[in-house]
Amino acid sequence: MSEEFKEQLRKYSEGTLPEEEREALEKELEKLEAYQVYLEELMEREEQAAGTWTKGGPTSGQAPGLNEKKRKKREKTIIRRGKWKARIVNTFTVLAAFLAFMIISTIITAVFYSSGGRGKTYSDVVSSAIAVTRPNTTARLSSNAHYLFRMELTGKLQKQVGSEDIQVGDYTQTFRLGLSYPGTYSWMDERNAGNYFFYYPAADGSISSGDNSDEWSRLEKLPEGTVAEAYLSFDHLFTTDELLKEFEGLNLLPVWFGADTGPSTHDEVVTSPLGFPYEPIWHDDDMLKSAVTKEKTGWFRSVSSYSSISPAVEPYGSGALRDENFIKTLKLLQQHQSLAQKAAYINQLDTSLAYLQEHGVRLYGAVATGPVKELLKLREASWVSYLRVGEVRLWNWRDR
């Protein structure tokens, strides 16, 4: 059997052989099967003739021992061919069953994650969990359904430094039907893995954080043509509207707010903050959609397209709307708490949500970004009690 014929058999069993070659191969296999039937009939006739010779005596002049050797050789040939035929049939059967299983599992996977918007909901929960627990960090996720009931969420982790979003890592999370594995963070700089904290304001507006001069000195030494990210702690709690008004006269952009969530944040140092980004985390039911159009792309698959508009938000206002969006996001995470906890560590989610609903949203810290010279002006702001420098980049700023 030539290597080319073997390769055709392999592609035929996998279902990847082109139509013309498949038809030609099937005809060739039919011929081989006919040859085999003919040979088997011929051998049977020869065996019958050999049996006649045994009963009636020699007719061909051949010795009985020689005919016996030929008969055994034919038997071995028949057995060997039978074994190979069985192997080929078994191989085709196994491959056909495997291909059928893969097709069925792919269909089930696609239907499971598309029905009820499961895939979209999982993506929303994971990206929201990251946004509320990791200051100034967003995850741009996409979902991909695979065979064997598996779906994977993958995307880039980004921070806003200046007027641009920069990539700081990658995120991956795998699902097997309704079960989720813990998410995986791949940071480009390990300092982004958890090197953030805030100081909670004391009753008298002071903090016992020690000398903050090193961070200000570091900021002073940065070139004027750079932008930076700064983690700010306040001397008292602000409402969202009050804090936005403080930034209105500054050439800076607040990108994330740390919220007072009760016992989990009342320590002097907040190492597991919970908060919300400057741009609200809009969910599917928040958006105003136009007419939906669907285009079929394959079996059990279709693409829906529509335009959507998010609610209008004032640059330095809409505090009630922002607070409401934050509470709504935490309720979503509460509904899918097991999944949310596998994406990000959320300290006392139930207690924090109840505290926020009772006392309202009050802010003890924020992350701001902008030109270094503008951040230095915050040293004179009485409401900023502590600053820590984060990411730094070359100038990319658009004045606000």
DSSP string of 134-197, one letter each residue: STT-EEEEEEEEETTTEEEEEEEEEEEETTEEEEEEEEEEEEETTEEPPPEEEESSGGGGT---
Based on the domain organization, do 371 and 226 belong to the same domain? yes
Calculate ∠ Cα 64-66-69, nearest 5°. 110
**Does residue 288 contact residue 309 with C-beta atoms inside 8 Å?**
yes
Looking at the fold, whether 370 and 261 belong to one and the same domain comes out as: yes
How many domains in the chain?
2
Average pLDDT over residues 126-155: 88
* Residue 72: inside a domain: yes
Q: Which of 80-84, 196-200, 202-206, 377-381 has the lowest mean pLDDT?
A: 202-206
What is the structure's pLDDT at 139? 94
Asked whether residue 94 falls in the same domain as residue 212, the answer is no
Quick one: 367 and 270 in the same domain? yes
* pLDDT band of 52, cuts 50, 70, 90: low
345 and 211 inside one domain: yes
The counts of H helices and E strands in the chain are 10, 16
Q: Is there a single domain that holds both residue 355 and residue 222?
A: yes
Would 168 be classed as within a structural domain?
no
The answer, as to whether pTM is greater than 0.85, is: no
pLDDT score of 211: 59
- Residue 294, in any domain of the structure: yes
- Tell me whether residue 189 is in a domain: no
Tokens 């596998």, located at residue: 342
Domain boundary among 97, 115, 133: 115
- The pLDDT confidence band at residue 99, using thresholds 50, 70 and 90, is confident
Domain presence at residue 367: yes
Q: Which of 137, 116, 253 is nearest to 193 (CA)?
A: 137
CA proximity to 381, closest of 224, 267, 268, 230: 230
In a domain, 157, yes or no: no
- Give residue 93's domain range: 3-52+62-115
Q: State which of 115, 138, 157 marks the end of a domain.
A: 115
pLDDT at residue 338, as a whole number: 92
**CB distance 143 to 152 below 8 Å:** yes
Residues 339 and 236 placed together within one structural domain of the fold = yes
Tens-place pLDDT, residues 7-17: 776 776 766 77
Claim to verify: residue 230 and residue 103 sit in the same structural domain: no
Count of C-beta atoms within a 10 Å radius of residue 108: 15
Given this model, what pLDDT does residue 310 score?
Answer: 82
Same domain for 102 and 243, yes or no, is: no
Whether residue 244 is found in the same domain as residue 356: yes
Clarify whether residues 108 and 206 are in a common domain: no
87 in the same domain as 231: no
Longest dimension (CA), the chain: 125
